């Protein structure tokens, strides 16, 4: 990291697009920062006549014409469905995995594997596609969204964004989703082998995440060693907030009782009237866990950030072992988080009625005042924007995919 970048941390990267902003293709839903600082973008179907697309941009924010056809790869589906791409992961051996859900119905998830040039990998699943059916696990089970689609969960056909994490160490693919089954909310995690077949050694192929006295919704997932971490919330009220938690499952799909308290760490709310929710999680090189989301206390929405040791213990060096509930902007939600070279904590989100927010914290839980002069910065050029996804590039720049109320998708990049 050069000295100029350090001095400018928290400012827009003017070498990217126009004054740090690039307008994205219509329907962009996900971005992935590649090791060469290029960006991969996926779009949903914007009409039944169009396939979804994978688009690659150079480090400067222009179409990378060396990828596909002028920078674009179209993935025509023969399944007759409207596929909503969600999570995307790059693979160490080359190529990409994309998971998403079926629109207009609620019974299917898909996992797609692309080769480096964007073509479907015929050796994966059926001609590059794995289909996971809710009906395979219960006649009355429905998928639903874990974040933005929450308010319409009463509609049984709602399909939300699933989760995915890839273990290069064990060549396993974990796919998670929230479910509505028999009027109860719960989570599910599937485990696939590298070729897309179900890993039956993982509790037969999937585990349910549920509580006898509460609804459960998932918000984040990450591979840790030979197991998988799942972040979520248990709630009993009519809202999506409650007791935020992180649970670890081992390679057999069993809860790891050595993690946290019997396999689960509950994020303390710190106040009897506060309710919380985790929506993002990232690990550092020592398997330390950074998690973010939001809390609500007395109608006030606070940005939530917390750090756990690798064994699920609340990190005592971070804010004395307690989560930080931040209120430097009204209605603050930290939708994304990442470790910056294991030395700083980056969170991104929204606040104050729809501006995009980036903040950087020191490892003790305090705002890093060298970042933007206050520890945080906001992007207000496109009012009432929605946060889709954020990524940290290989050279520590922060990119955020946003969307305006009129459906214009854009990426903004900040120096880190």
Q: How far is CA 361 from the centre of its chain?
A: 20
Q: Give the residue extent of every domain in the chain.
A: 1-26+287-416
pLDDT at 81: 54
pLDDT tens over the chain, length 416 residues: 444 455 699 999 999 999 999 999 988 989 999 999 999 999 876 666 667 789 999 999 999 999 888 999 887 665 445 667 778 999 988 899 998 876 555 567 889 898 988 888 999 998 888 888 755 555 555 555 433 333 222 332 223 578 999 998 889 999 998 877 767 788 889 999 999 999 999 999 999 898 888 888 899 999 999 999 999 999 987 778 999 999 999 999 999 999 999 999 999 998 889 999 999 999 999 999 999 999 999 999 999 999 999 999 999 999 999 999 999 999 999 999 999 988 999 999 999 988 999 999 999 999 999 999 999 999 999 989 999 999 999 999 999 999 999 989 999 999 99
CB-CB contact of 166 with 223 (8 Å): yes
What is the Cα Rg of the chain in Å? Answer: 20
Please report the pLDDT score of residue 46 as a whole number.
Answer: 64
The gap from C-alpha 245 to its chain's centroid, in whole angstroms, comes to 16
Residue count (the chain): 416
Q: Which long-range contacts (CB under 8 A, 24 or more apart) does 44-50 make?
A: 44/82, 44/83, 44/84, 44/85, 44/103, 45/82, 45/83, 45/84, 45/103, 48/82
The sheet with strand 333-340 has its strands ordered as 333-340, 344-351, 355-361, 376-379
DSSP assignment letter at 138? -
Contacts of 85 by beta carbon, 8 Å cutoff, 6+ apart? 29, 30, 42, 43, 44, 52, 98, 99, 100
DSSP states of 35-51 = TTS-EEEEE--SSTTS-
In this structure, are residues 409 and 402 in contact, taking their beta carbons and an 8 Å threshold?
yes
Would you state the pLDDT for residue 318?
98
Burial of 322 (0-12, 13-18, 19+ CB in 10 A): middle
Instruction: Find tokens 């390679």 and name the residue.
Output: 251
Instruction: Please list, residue by residue across 18-52, b when 16 or more beta carbons sit within 10 angstroms of its beta carbon and e when fewer do.
Output: eebbbebbebbbbbbbbeebbbbbbbbbeeeeeeb
Residues 6+ apart with CB under 8 A from 271: 297
Strand partners, 116: none
Distance between CA atoms of 241 and 134, rounded to whole angstroms? Answer: 25
Q: For residues 87 and 150, is the Cβ–Cβ distance under 8 A?
A: no
What count of Cα atoms within 13 Å lies in the side-chain half-sphere of residue 22? 26
Identify the three-state secondary structure at position 14.
coil
d(CA 100, CA 178): 13
Dihedral sign computed on CA atoms, order 380, 37, 89, 225: negative
Phi, psi of 79 (to 5 degrees): -85, -5
- Phi first, then psi, for residue 258 (nearest 5°) are -85, -5
């Amino acid at each position: 990291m050069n000295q100029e970048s350090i001095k400018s941390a928290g400012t827009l990267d003017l070498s990217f697009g126009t004054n740090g902003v690039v307008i994205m293709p219509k329907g962009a839903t996900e971005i992935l920062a590649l090791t060469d600082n290029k960006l991969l973008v996926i779009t949903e179907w914007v009409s039944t006549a169009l396939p979804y697309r994978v688009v690659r941009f150079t480090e400067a924010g222009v179409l990378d014409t060396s990828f596909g056809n002028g920078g674009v790869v179209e993935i025509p589906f023969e399944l007759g469905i409207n596929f909503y791409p969600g999570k995307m992961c790059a693979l160490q051996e080359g190529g990409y995995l994309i998971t998403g859900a079926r629109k207009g119905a609620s019974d299917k998830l898909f996992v797609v594997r692309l080769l480096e040039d964007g073509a479907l990998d015929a050796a994966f699943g059926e001609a590059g596609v794995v289909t996971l059916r809710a009906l395979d696990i219960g006649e009355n089970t429905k998928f639903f969204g874990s974040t933005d689609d929450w308010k319409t969960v009463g509609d049984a056909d709602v399909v939300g964004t699933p989760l995915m994490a890839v273990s290069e160490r064990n060549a396993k693919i974990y796919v998670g989703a929230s479910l509505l089954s028999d009027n109860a909310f719960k989570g599910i995690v599937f485990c696939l082998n590298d070729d897309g077949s179900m890993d039956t050694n993982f509790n037969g192929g999937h585990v349910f995440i549920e509580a006898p006295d509460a609804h459960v919704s998932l918000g984040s997932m990450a591979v840790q060693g030979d197991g998988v971490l799942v972040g979520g919330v248990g709630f009993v009220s009519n809202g999506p907030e409650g007791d935020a938690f992180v649970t670890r499952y081992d390679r057999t799909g069993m809860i790891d009782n050595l993690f946290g308290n019997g396999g689960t760490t509950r994020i303390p709310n710190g106040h009897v009237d506060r309710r919380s929710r985790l929506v993002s999680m990232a690990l550092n090189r020592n398997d330390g866990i950074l998690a973010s989301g939001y809390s609500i206390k007395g109608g006030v929405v606070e940005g939530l950030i917390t750090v756990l040791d690798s064994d699920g213990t609340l990190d005592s060096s971070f804010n004395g072992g307690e989560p930080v509930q931040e209120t430097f902007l009204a209605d603050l939600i930290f939708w994304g988080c990442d470790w910056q070279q294991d030395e700083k904590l980056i969170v991104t989100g929204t606040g104050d009625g729809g501006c995009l927010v980036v903040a950087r914290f020191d490892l003790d839980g305090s705002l890093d005042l060298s970042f933007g002069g206050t520890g945080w910065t906001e992007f207000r050029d496109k009012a009432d924007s929605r946060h889709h996804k954020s990524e940290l590039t290989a050279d520590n720049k922060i990119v955020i995919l946003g969307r305006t109320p009129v459906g214009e998708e854009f990426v903004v990049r900040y120096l880190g």
